[in-house]
Amino acid sequence: MDTKAPVLYEKLYNHVLDEIRSGALRPGDRVPSEKELADRFGVSRITSKRALETLQRAGMIDRVRGKGSFVGRNLPSEAPLPALPVRWRSGFARGRTGPAIGLVVPDVSDAYGLKLLIAAEERCAELDAHLIFRRTHGDPASERRAIDLLAGSGLDGLIVFPVHGEDYSPSLVRLVLDGYPLVLVDRYLPGIAAAAVYTDNVAAGEAITGYLLDRGHRDIALLSSPQEHTTSLEDRLKGFQSAYTHRNLGRETQYSVTNLYSTLPDAFRIENIATDEQTIRQFLDRNPSVTAFVACEYNLATILLDVLRKLGKRVPEDVSVTCFDARLDPGSPPEVTHIRQDEAAMGRTAVDMVLAQMRGERPGRMTVGFELVEGRSTAARA
């Protein structure tokens, strides 16, 4: 027996169903609107809409555009309980078989994000599902609009790559509380019980830092955009620090620069690049003993390489550079030694986790593997 507590939309479904069965609402009577139900139960309009759509599919009510919902004239002898949750038929997928899933991301590039998108689309195609893709350009307001639009359109579920930021998106939190099929990719939200699939960034951060330490580097700097409760970046810093701790090395040779901004989707803004170049140049002037870097994102590594070249520093003879993810040139050795995240596994798993929630399962957080790929940018410390 399933002992899980019902999600919010089921409570509304059962309330209206009880009103019909008790005779409080009779055939032809008007049923409370989405807004009335949402206000009465303190839930979102998305939740009340889903409850009424479920009742409609069960044959208990008729919904008339512009007029409202009414108790059906020919009620079935027994209304089925809603599966958790029901496969909603969206405007995007109406008339087709298979569920429709939305994918919301800040941006994609061939260094990171594109493989995830392709894998999610291919997995949906394998399962006769439909994928609707939206970019937020890293803007929290755009993310809220995209989530509200897609979820409000009746999609079966969402996959969201959250933007950087100190605050949780209220749209994401509301969907989690409503029991909507939602999966986060690349990171998780501490304290929020949302399904998520991401790289074990603590282990990855320790692996790439340990790689440099084992090659004789001691003064190593981590480069990052502001972490601001972004778990992927916070965990990479933890892994960076753990590599020192597990080798019984002190923190006096650990450095971090966490005020860089040339990351997706703002990686190519000239003003951001100029500011970051100056920040890195000033750091190098103050810390000439640093011989190796761990950049949390590929775009930061490319800016670092450019600054080093302008300063006459040789890579890897004078300075070694590593990063997370990298743009690859088929047929050539990788330019930068990097952690390669398994984007394809992340995209496929996210789709499977959405579908699992549609079947009533409750997947939690899952991690995917990573690989340390050696490139031309690192060498042992002489």
Model confidence at 255: pLDDT above 70: yes
Does any domain span residue 88? no
Does any domain span residue 181? yes
Bigger pLDDT: 209 vs 226: 209
Amino acid at 125: A
pLDDT for residue 77: 56
Whether 234 and 333 map to the same domain: the answer is yes
State the pLDDT confidence band at 266, using cuts at 50, 70 and 90.
low
For 55, the domain range is 8-71
Whether 125 and 30 map to the same domain: the answer is no
Whether 281 and 244 map to the same domain: the answer is yes
| Final residue before a domain boundary, out of 323, 340, 357 | 340
pLDDT for residue 90: 43
Q: Identify the DSSP state of 109.
A: B
The token pair at 361 is: 């399962």
Q: What is the CATH number of the domain that holds 16?
A: 1.10.10.10
Does any domain span residue 239? yes
Whether 211 and 312 map to the same domain: the answer is yes
Whether 151 and 216 map to the same domain: the answer is no
- Separation between Cα atoms, residue 263 and residue 163, nearest integer Å: 12
pLDDT for residue 5: 36
Whether 146 and 189 map to the same domain: the answer is yes
What phi and psi, each to the nearest 5 degrees, are found at residue 91?
A: -65, -25
Count of domains observed in the chain: 3
Tell me what the mean pLDDT of segment 324-332 comes to.
85
Does any domain span residue 382? no
Does any domain span residue 82? no
pLDDT for residue 362: 87
pLDDT tens for each residue of 74-127? 776 555 444 434 334 444 444 445 789 999 999 998 899 999 999 999 999 999
Does any domain span residue 89? no
- Separation between Cα atoms, residue 28 and residue 24, nearest integer Å: 12
Does any domain span residue 81? no
| DSSP letters spanning 18-69 | HHHHHTSS-TTPEEPPHHHHHHHHT--HHHHHHHHHHHHHTTSEEEETTTEE
**Contact between 378 and 337 (Cβ < 8 Å):** yes
Tell me what the mean pLDDT of segment 247-261 comes to.
89
Q: Which of 65, 15, 5 is CA-nearest to residue 36?
A: 15
Whether 37 and 139 map to the same domain: the answer is no
**Contact between 159 and 101 (Cβ < 8 Å):** yes
Tell me what the mean pLDDT of segment 22-42 comes to.
88
Q: What is the CATH number of the domain that holds 361?
A: 3.40.50.2300
Does any domain span residue 87? no
Residue 116 CB partners (closer than 8 Å, separation 6+):
105, 108, 161, 185, 343, 344, 346, 347
State the pLDDT confidence band at 335, using cuts at 50, 70 and 90.
very high
In 214-332, which ranges are E strands?
220-223, 254-257, 292-295, 320-324
pLDDT tens for each residue of 3-25? 333 456 777 888 888 888 788 88
pTM of the model: 0.75
Whether 210 and 273 map to the same domain: the answer is yes
Amino acid at 196: A
pLDDT for residue 89: 41
Whether 316 and 247 map to the same domain: the answer is yes
What phi and psi, each to the nearest 5 degrees, are found at residue 148?
A: -65, -40
Whether 187 and 229 map to the same domain: the answer is no
pLDDT for residue 327: 87
pLDDT for residue 86: 38
pLDDT tens for each residue of 83-93? 434 334 444 44
Whether 121 and 206 map to the same domain: the answer is no
What phi and psi, each to the nearest 5 degrees, are found at residue 37?
A: -65, -40
| Final residue before a domain boundary, out of 71, 87, 108 | 71
Q: In this prediction, what percent of the chain has a pLDDT beyond 70?
A: 90
Q: Identify the sign of the CA torsion 355, 357, 358, 361.
A: positive
Whether 221 and 294 map to the same domain: the answer is yes
- The mean pLDDT value of the chain amounts to 86
Place of tokens 């971090």: 256
pLDDT for residue 165: 63
As a 3-state breakdown, the chain gives helix, strand, coil percent values, each rounded to 5, of 40, 20, 45
